[in-house]
Chain A
């Protein structure tokens, strides 16, 4: 398979093509950092993101005539009344009207130290007399306190959502292959938590020293400061004489800029979090820092630079390597292979998971690799940071299921680190969280006496096993939880080489941690539920699974009601492998409801390296399984999601479904119900539908089990067998809902771009969807989509709708229901920058097939309204209505009697869209293969077949709660003693004279200060240059004025000469 890189120019091309006015400054306007946002601006919800800030205000006012009388002690109500009356009696003001305001609450039965008194016309003197009483402490006016709690859209226009909180420099942090990896930093510390837990609390996100919050000082006090550990920082470099670093061993440059210094601050910050020794302290100040400059100041980087730099890191025997970079291209084989090679050479790789949250399916490479520690970000309130990428890995789609990532989370929001030249600043982003873990790992590695035991797997095992789980967050957001440095230290220091699993158990009933598994019970006849477990093998770089994993159902817990199939990596290399567990319900439980349990036993073996007596080290791990089974739901409630026909980037250029989103031109989130169609899935579940995923051709499912086949935004072609099978299925009662998208060859040519790396033009291989292929599929019913491209707002059945780059229905059977709307012709806008409204564009069609018991078909021309990425207005209500129609044959009156209903188009006037000539879809397609002339379909592949593991039943009772803290064998936390220290000022921070206040140097804290500096240097230079030139001319001018006489003749000479020559010529004539 060919992999292609995509270039900055893409976006430039897109910008220039679509909205010429915007594309003035490509480097800044273009945001080709697919999957690697540096600032929230480009977060997938950028356009419609309403950033809400919780505003809590207090106001109080004095309640007239009411006073609080406070006593010196606690007295009964009677005594209090007595004291007040006696005190007021001594007042000279005789006509004082007063009474005690009764407080009716349970506390009133008990003695109190205050009383509320209502006094009419109280004079200061009477209050004073009250206070004179020996038992009365003071009298204060009663105040009424108002607390207002409101959400406000961010006050500053430049708030995180839609603005550029930092200079554009940061935004376009990109490689020249921008859809690849980029540095993962957000701008400055503007990300205040928006997590659900914080939404009702005041935020106190005060940037603090992350090393101290994580209790690194405990380890410092024990004398561990990272000494002897080689840490590599792959970033933008570091200046030579930065005051924060004492042990920079080497700086190397791998870019084409002839400097080793950091011009941006990213690399300095990252290095500071790991190893700064003063001000904003890092974790391991004594570690050996190796600075690799792989990003230029223009944020350019290439795979080839990384390859050479990585080779050098291997040669230098680096122990820990921080990569605060990432990109979506996990199919960049040279890079991915090289990362494997590094871990195989015992380099512990720590990488940022990405800044593309909160959208699912946004994990970045290399953090999504099994051998790399992928780090997500949280804020200081323990909420997952909004920007932190999440969702399963998407390498395994469509046939399999993604792995759990990130591995752990740690502080990544408003963390303080070293500033470019001095001082501190705070930054947010997963590229901040990554060095927090890298620093912690470095510190941890230095605590271990037997360094042989520290390897990429054992370190990851220790971090995972010690992590603290955050409540209410699922594993595809938090991984194993929040980094706990001290517990990791304890675990690592009693570590014995072994294998472990991530996740360590499968409890499909546990919500929300095991979302999405816990969101839908399993039943007989459903597609098997796949859990993709990662095996970490701390025993050696290679390993294998001996014999076969054993499935042991617990008979008392109905374990025999499920079937389990297991597939796994033939070789666990480097340090890790997968163990995919497919779970299905046994036939005998078809109408049974309950919970079934069992476990899988896996034995991993590695060649012994240091012990000649034992040939092999082995380790056996148990994977408990718990599932909830329900009776098979009726056909009408079952919806099948077609995953097989979705194609994505990488590897090919599959454009976004919404052409307005020029910042993010690629379709790269996996298009799965648990990634960017997550909201739709949640909605369907809440409506009672059971949604399953088809990861195989249409020929591979039993259509009689399902009410509706849901095909959304399909880019793939169809096997001829699939087309005939689907036709038969629909005749037999299967219904079909298709959400299509745009396909217009002229627009596709327009959104092509020049790729600097491949030095060729890049043409999309399909539009938003593959309409010609879809038309082949539905032509049998006399239906077709057009190549029109429409956009606009409209309302349908009292719902506001937005049509974001969709196509229209070109043909529809006569007896169908078709809804048409007035929309803008976006094709015209893209191609000619003209605006035109097209009246009566057919966008929605409902059709009942004529055969008896035949299914229904619903078509809609745009998928953006059910897709989480870049969605502006959702149309789940429409999906509901369509499902009501397809599953229950209930035609929604709001649609059938809509005034927008038009006669179905016959489509004879326009030719149907044809496939773009010369497209390379066959390179990425599972259906097509290259042929002389046109690509042809391959032979239909065999349907996937699971071989069920032979159960070895156990008469054992399982624990009801499977999750305890994941235990690594032989680890007894109590054994590893910790010194009893509280707060400790570490010795690793030699205070230089006069430095004491350095922490609060204003410049160091002010977010964005540095960025301004960088942004301003160029204009400053230009201005200075202009001044120099100007002064030069001024000097010239003054010189000229002072010597007017000498200049005159010189200037006049030419005329004089000319005259002479003319006169001289005369005689000859």
Chain B
């Protein structure tokens, strides 16, 4: 007993005890900090940092969306509709060989915001892209790009022009979901606007 007590009084023993406790303290604190950061980082995607700007390089074609081009890119994926880079929405059967919509087809419309809500969210992807391609949406898009969350940096710095930006912006993303596996609003999930889809109550 005496030996133990004397041993405990030894400075180096106390030092070791202190050191070990310190290590334990530090590791557990660090671990906790890391966990907290993980949680915070996840919500980072929703929170915009006003100081943070992503170095976007989108070139908007100012107002000349009625220009004549020989080849069009289009939205490729649609079940029945497609949007070309001039903002025309048409049915697949009305797509020309050059990838542009046949502007003479009766159902083809340019810059149409059908199914879109006031908050910039639409229920049909192709209309979202078309609406987003309206020239007057440029300011809105620039404002979005300037304030875009860090999580979107990869995506929106790679985007090169208005059409690509609209294609990318209208897709469902981390902003479209709640609880990870449900849409915030399954009816209007494609958004060109700044805000995420309105959260529908469970």
Contacts and interface: CB of A to CB of B under 8 A. Distances in A.
Contact of B168 (A3, A305, A311, A757): A311
Interface string B84-95: 000000001101
In order of increasing CB-CB distance, the 9 nearest A-B pairs are A304-B174, A1033-B15, A256-B41, A344-B77, A1029-B19, A332-B181, A758-B179, A303-B180, A607-B92
B180 to A, nearest CB: 4
B135 interface: no
A4 interface: yes
Contacts of B182: 2-4, 333-334
Contact of B176 (A307, A542, A574, A757): A307
Contacts of B186: 333
A277 B162 CA distance: 39
B171 interface: yes
A1040 interface: yes
Interface centre among B12, B80, B158, B182 (most CB of A within 10 A): B182
Interface stretch (B20-28, B56-64, B138-146): B20-28
A312 interface: yes
Contact of B77 (A345, A612, A1025, A1036): A345
Given A307-B176, A341-B171, A1037 B80 contact: no
B11 interface: yes
Nearest to B186: A333
A573 interface: yes
A334 B45 CA distance: 17
B158 A304 contact: no
A570 to B, nearest CB: 10
Interface stretch (B1-9, B105-113, B114-122, B148-156): B148-156
B69 interface: no
Nearest to B164: A315
25 contacts: A3-B181, A4-B179, A177-B181, A252-B154, A256-B44, A308-B154, A308-B173, A334-B182, A341-B172, A344-B77, A541-B77, A542-B80, A571-B80, A607-B92, A607-B95, A611-B97, A612-B97, A757-B181, A758-B179, A758-B180, A1030-B15, A1032-B19, A1033-B15, A1033-B19, A1037-B11
A346 interface: yes
Contact of B154 (A312, A1029, A1040): A312
A26 to B, nearest CB: 12
A701 interface: no
B155 A615 contact: no
Interface of A: 2-5, 177, 180, 252, 254, 256, 300, 302-305, 307-308, 311-312, 314-316, 329, 331-335, 337-338, 341, 344-346, 541-542, 571, 573-574, 607, 609-612, 615-616, 756-758, 1022, 1025-1026, 1029-1030, 1032-1034, 1036-1037, 1040
Interface centre among B44, B96, B172 (most CB of A within 10 A): B172
B177 A304 contact: yes
Interface in B14-45: 15-16, 18-20, 22-23, 26-27, 37-39, 41-42, 44-45
Given A3-B182, A758-B179, A308 B152 contact: yes
A1032 B11 CA distance: 13
B113 to A, nearest CB: 21
Contact of B171 (A314, A574, A1026): A314
Interface centre among B22, B92, B183 (most CB of A within 10 A): B92
A742 B202 CA distance: 29
A756 to B, nearest CB: 8
A538 to B, nearest CB: 16
A1032 B20 CA distance: 12
A1033 B79 contact: no
Interface string B65-80: 0000000000011111
Contacts of B183: 333-334
A649 to B, nearest CB: 12
A338 B79 CA distance: 14
Given A4-B179, A542-B80, A1037-B15, 7 more contacts: A3-B179, A252-B154, A256-B38, A302-B174, A311-B171, A334-B181, A571-B79
B78 A1040 contact: no
A348 to B, nearest CB: 14
B146 to A, nearest CB: 19
B92 A542 contact: yes
A334 B38 contact: no
Nearest to A1: B182
B170 to A, nearest CB: 10
B103 interface: no
B192 to A, nearest CB: 14
B158 A315 contact: yes
A3 B202 CA distance: 10
A573 B174 contact: no
A307 B172 contact: yes
B158 A5 contact: no
B54 interface: no
Contacts of B93: 607, 615-616
A935 to B, nearest CB: 15
B16 A574 contact: no
A315 B174 contact: no
B20 A1026 contact: yes
A2 B168 CA distance: 27
Contact of A612 (B37, B78, B96): B96
Contacts of B37: 256
Interface centre among B11, B18, B155 (most CB of A within 10 A): B155
Given A334-B182, A607-B95, A1034-B12, A312 B155 contact: yes
A304 B173 contact: yes
A346 B19 CA distance: 59
Contact of A329 (B11, B154, B168, B181): B181
Given A256-B42, A308-B174, A344 B20 contact: no
Contacts of B180: 5, 177, 302-304, 332, 334, 757-758
Contact of B79 (A311, A573, A615): A573
Nearest to A256: B41
A758 B92 CA distance: 39
A5 B179 CA distance: 7
A314 B129 CA distance: 15
B173 A1033 contact: no
A25 B80 CA distance: 51
Given A256-B37, A315-B155, A1034-B12, A1029 B97 contact: no
A711 B16 CA distance: 65
Contacts of B181: 3-5, 177, 180, 303, 329, 331-335, 757
B121 to A, nearest CB: 14
Contacts of B26: 1025
A308 B176 contact: no
